[in-house]
Structure 1
């Protein structure tokens, strides 16, 4: 402020602004204050050619963070930085959303596959039960057919036996009804013995 007055000759009008700006992190990091020395490299008049020299402040024992100024006040983020941060967040959010969608799709597919597997098991179980029922009915029908064949065979055998008996009776009746006079004397004698 005194320097302004000495150079220009009038007092500094914007002292109220200066009080705000001196604490502003952007103002402090821009190097607009003369705390670190001259910002331009100085030329030395000597026989050697001009060399660009940079001043390094060796007095600082700590490394300043990019977002923190010398007073320890955190510097607000600029437009570019905030846009980049938003873009990164959106990208990360998009990746997270994509992963969530993928996980949801995979879970849904797994559920569908499990349902299909369960339906297939039930269908196979019903088909197996149906086959067992059909096999049982076929066995039952075969057993019935076998029994019917056996019964038919037994009935035929009985029928044949009855026919044979009937045939014998007829023959016996025929023989009994024959006159003994027509028979030979030996047969007549055996007949007489049979009747007595």
Structure 2
């Protein structure tokens, strides 16, 4: 396993905290509730508090109805009709209440699929700001965080995954993905805890 921590040194002025899908949609009472979300929320909150102006949130936005999705996503939402827009209402796609206070200055990027890169809004946000490093938190480790990290790697960003600020609904696949990140992507992904990130990002 690769060495853990910020092996490439402190974080610079062009780093940005990218918090993935910390929404009410994945909170208590939702069909998609992620049990760990509340556990990691204080760590995410600490990072947002540290640099609110250097924070961006992604939000996963389901279609209004299953038939509004394309291809295999239509079949997916036939299975998960309970989380389509008409079923859950707009409030469920909002950030969890604790994090809403950071917007603004934090920014929000909405997406309709796992990856935040496919629709261009995230690229449009990062490029003018000269961002070269992404500090990634949120959920889920093995779905939307994975898609976020792979897209960031492809674009050449320095990628830092904050281990105690990531959550998943599956312990086993969370653990498998953390092993994947540290073994297969050790040259392109750093894995660090919140305390170290806060200490090394001034």
* TM-score, length basis structure 2: 0.15
Q: Which has the higher contact order (CA 8 A, sep 6+)?
A: 2
* TM-score, length basis structure 1: 0.15
